[in-house]
Amino acid sequence: MTAQVRRSYAKGRAKRREIIDQAVALFGEVGYRGASLREIAARCGISHPGLIHHFPTKEALLLAVLAQRDEDDARRLTAAGEVGVARLRRMVEVVELNTGRRAIVEMFTALAAEATSADHPAHAYFAERYRNTIAGLTYDYAHARKAGLLRPGIDPEEAARQLIALMDGLQVQWLIDSEGTDMAAIVRAHVQAQLTVGV
């Protein structure tokens, strides 16, 4: 591969990332249905056909946005193959990270609400994501219980569903009142109350 081809690939990857970043911001502002590819293209300083070169449909761009978010978070949550209490601690770290990623939180919250409709292009994605997240957290809580680190009387699957509900609800509250809502502290206290070791 020549240096010119490598530069061309790098430029293309950088433009794709810029398009995804602008889509995150716009989806967070107006939701998926309210956003247009033309607006995203304008924010990126390219033509509509230029954007279509990278993402042929709005749905393709949406799926790329969601995949990028999951990839970013997965790197943090799966570091060193951690499970159980270690991964529950990582969940708190992701919540802390989200306080610096308002556009991502806005986008996720808006899309999750829209995607409750069965005809939304991200409906299947969110359904699968929640199934996988519940399964993963259930495993982590069960691992903590087996290690003797989960307080008595806590059911791993219920704990997993409660944690997801808490995190999602706090994101909405934080978007409305970021000064009065300390997401990370509340999630940390919740998880800490379930465990016999520090978070």
In which band, very low, low, confident or very high, does the pLDDT at 28 lie, cut at 50, 70 and 90? confident
What is the Cα–Cα distance from 94 to 43, expressed in whole angstroms?
A: 28
Beta strand segments in the chain, E:
none
What is the Cα–Cα distance from 107 to 96, expressed in whole angstroms?
A: 17
Helix (H) or strand (E) holding 130, with range, is: helix 123-146
Residue from 96, 101, 85 nearest 187 by CA: 96
What is the Cα–Cα distance from 84 to 136, expressed in whole angstroms?
A: 9
Beta pairing partners, 150: 195
Q: What does CATH list as the number for 3-194?
A: 1.10.357.10
Q: Say if residue 68's pLDDT is above 90.
A: no
| Percent of the chain at pLDDT exceeding 70 | 94
Name the DSSP class of 155.
-
CB 147 within 8 A of CB 85: yes
Domain ranges for the chain, please list them: 3-194
CB 22 within 8 A of CB 40: yes
pTM of the model: 0.81
Beta pairing partners, 195: 150
Give the mean pLDDT of 143-159. Answer: 97
Comparing 2 with 96, the larger pLDDT belongs to 96
Please give the pLDDT value at position 74.
76
What is the Cα–Cα distance from 113 to 160, expressed in whole angstroms?
A: 20
What is the Cα–Cα distance from 45 to 188, expressed in whole angstroms?
A: 41
Using DSSP's 3-state secondary structure scheme, residue 150 falls into strand
Please give the pLDDT value at position 79.
65
In which band, very low, low, confident or very high, does the pLDDT at 80 lie, cut at 50, 70 and 90? low
What is the Cα–Cα distance from 38 to 35, expressed in whole angstroms?
A: 9
Give the mean pLDDT of 53-77. Answer: 85
What's the chain's average pLDDT?
91
* CB count in 10 Å sphere of residue 13: 11
Please give the pLDDT value at position 4.
67
Give the mean pLDDT of 146-170. Answer: 97
Helix (H) or strand (E) holding 161, with range, is: helix 156-176
